[in-house]
Amino acid sequence: MFHHVKDLQFNARVSRPDPYFANLLLEQFGGENGELAAAMQYFTQAFGAKMPHPDKYDMLMDIAIEEFSHLEIVGATIQMLLKGVNGELKNAADSSEIMQVLNGKAAKEDIIHQAVFANPQFGIITGGGVTPRNSQGIPWCASYIHSNGDLTVDLRSNLASESRAKLVYEHLMKFTDDPYIHETLSFLMTREVAHYKMFEAALNDIQPNFPPGVLAADPRFTQQAYNLSDGAVRGPWNEGEMPDMGKEFVFVEDPIEQVQQTEGQTKLDQDFNKELKATDKLNQEMSKVKSDEVKNAEPEGVAQWSTYRE
């Protein structure tokens, strides 16, 4: 159940009309890294988390709703940036005079052209209305959503989503000098950082959380770092101890020779029987743990999503 409060979470304001920036800001309304995509991603992920991780379900729903709040801020800002222009886009007779806008630096025709030619969807389809499309007029798509049904995988996707969204806000700030818009974008950008840390804490709270999923990694192929380009560069990604693994990287200088000698990795010099048996045992244990997480959380008898107070 949702309850809409009409006051914005942040007091969004603009100094003057700017249809060009309004078009750019559509990226955060209906774009791949925008607020609608984030809201739907976390909202969708929450359903699979309800049984095994009810606390994370609460977190995902809270952040999803905040993302919808941010969507409202972005949409409101876009409409305010079209002040004086939106009405003219809807003026079918086109007989009235329009005042100079943008601090008197552009005439009516210039402003309308900025709005229309930056994104023809504004004038031709929506008449200045905000719809879930990006700055090029491409409709929002559900393929923007990453929801894999494994919470550790989803949380890692969310870390990346928040990182990308923060960068978009950073880039948007370069295209406007309106101090009020900078305040709004700074707020939205900072909330991406807050969400990032919330997701990071939630991921760390789930143990074990590596590797993602249920099955352990095959010990025969975990440690190799292949030199697949001319001029080998060594670093912590291919030498020394693997992070949190208790194993050393094995740098394969000549992968072609290694593949030929091992007949495509099927005949290795080292005997991994002991490690493989341990991996099989771990897979069985983890499979039971993950299965029981959900089964034990499911109520007996009639399934009921909510528990209502008497």
Q: CB within 8 A of 188, min separation 6: which ones?
A: 10, 28, 35, 70, 73, 74, 169
Tokens of 25: 């800001």
Each residue's pLDDT expressed in tens, for the chain with a length of 310 residues: 899 999 999 999 999 988 889 889 999 999 999 999 999 999 999 999 998 899 999 999 999 999 999 999 999 999 998 876 666 555 555 444 444 444 444 555 565 555 555 566 665 566 667 888 888 888 999 999 999 989 999 999 999 999 999 999 999 999 999 999 999 999 999 999 999 999 999 999 999 899 998 999 999 999 999 999 998 899 999 999 999 899 999 999 999 999 999 999 999 988 999 999 999 999 999 999 888 888 877 778 888 888 888 6
Write down the pLDDT at residue 86.
62
The 8-class DSSP code of residue 250 comes to E
Write down the pLDDT at residue 105.
47
Dist. CA 126–CA 120, nearest whole Å: 9
CB atoms inside a 10 Å sphere around CB 299: 10
How many helices (H) and strands (E) the chain has is answered by: 11, 2
Contact 106, 100 (CB under 8 A): yes
